[in-house]
Amino acid sequence: MKIKSLFTTALLGAAALLLAGHSARAALTYTAGDLFLGFKAAGADQDYLVNIGNVSQFSSLGAGSTVTVITGGSISADLGTAFGSSWFSSGSVFWSITGTTYNGTTNLVPTLYATRARSISGAQSTPWVGSASSNQVESVSLLQALAGKYAQDGTAAGASKATFQDSASDNSYAKLTAATSDFSIGGSVEGSTSRTLDFYRIDPVNDQAAAYLGYFTINGSGVVTFTAVPEPSTVALLGLSATAFLIFVRRRSKGKAFLS
C-alpha cells in the first residue's frame, strides 16, 4: 500500500513538473501587420524570432525620428543562449525584419515589408522591386506560415514576445530564409548584426521600386532602433520646393542688380 502511494506521488510530481514547463512557455499571438525580427546563424540548431508589433508604429513616424524597438524584454541574453556570448561581434549571426498587412478578409492587398542590408556604410541599399499581386501572394503565404509556427512554439525565456525555433523545422525562420530568395521576395532580407538594415514597403505593382521607410540598427546589448526617413514622393516634393526657392532667390537678386 505504501509502495503504491509512493508511486502515485511520484507520478503526480512528474505531471506537475511537465505542466510547469508547459506553462512557462506562454502562448504567443500574431495579428496581420505585425513585423517579425528574426535571427539565425550558420550551423546553429535554433533560430530566434520576435514579434515587434504593428508596422504602423514605424511607417507613421516623422522624418528623422528615431525610436527604440519594443521587444518585450531584454533579447541579449536569449541571443547569447542561441548563438553564444559573441553573437554580436562574430559576424556569423544574421538578422532581418519582415511582415505583411494582408489578412485574407478586410485587407486583400498583398503588401510586403522587408529589410535589405547596406553593402556600404552610410549608403542606402538598392530598393526592392514589386511584383504582380499573384506573385506577392506567395510571399504572403510564407510569412503567414512563419506566423503560425511562431504562435505554436511559445515564448522564450528573456522576452515575452520572442521564441526559439528548431532551425530545421518546417516554417521556421531559418528554414524560410535558407534559399537565395528569402520568403520569395527576390533576394536576401538579412544582414550580419553589424550591418544597417534599410526598411521598405513593397507594393504589389510590377517593377515598381519599393518605398523607403527608414532603417534599423542593433547594438551589442540587443537594443534595436529605427530611424524614419521621408518616402520618395516626399523627398521629391522637398527637392522641387528647394529648387523653386533657389530660382526665386536668383531672379530676385538679378532684378535688384538690374534696378541698381
Structural domain spans, the chain:
17-229, 233-260
Which positions of the chain have pLDDT values less than 50? 1-23, 233-249, 253-260
Characterize the bridge pairing of strands 112-117 and 66-68. unpaired
Q: In sequence order, what are the residues at sequence separation of 6 or more whose Cβ sits closer than 8 angstroms to the Cβ of residue 155?
A: 25, 26, 27, 28, 161, 162, 163
pLDDT at 24: 52
How far does CA 120 lie from the centroid of its chain?
A: 20
pLDDT at 90: 94
pLDDT at 156: 85
pLDDT at 250: 53
Measured CA to CA in angstroms, residue 228 lies from 167, 215, 231 at distances of 32, 7, 9
pTM of the model: 0.81
Pseudo-torsion of CA 232, 128, 151, 108, nearest 10°?
70
> Are 91 and 246 a contacting pair, CB within 8 Å?
no
> Are 172 and 78 a contacting pair, CB within 8 Å?
no
pLDDT at 26: 79
Closest CA relative to residue 63, chosen from 237, 213, 199: 213
> Are 36 and 97 a contacting pair, CB within 8 Å?
yes
Q: In sequence order, what are the residues at sequence separation of 6 or more whose Cβ sits closer than 8 angstroms to the Cβ of residue 148?
A: 171
- The percent helix, strand, coil of the chain (3-state, each to 5) is 35, 25, 40
What are the backbone dihedrals phi and psi of residue 46, each rounded to the nearest 5 degrees, phi first? -145, 155
What amino acid is encoded at 214 in this protein?
A: G
> Are 188 and 176 a contacting pair, CB within 8 Å?
no
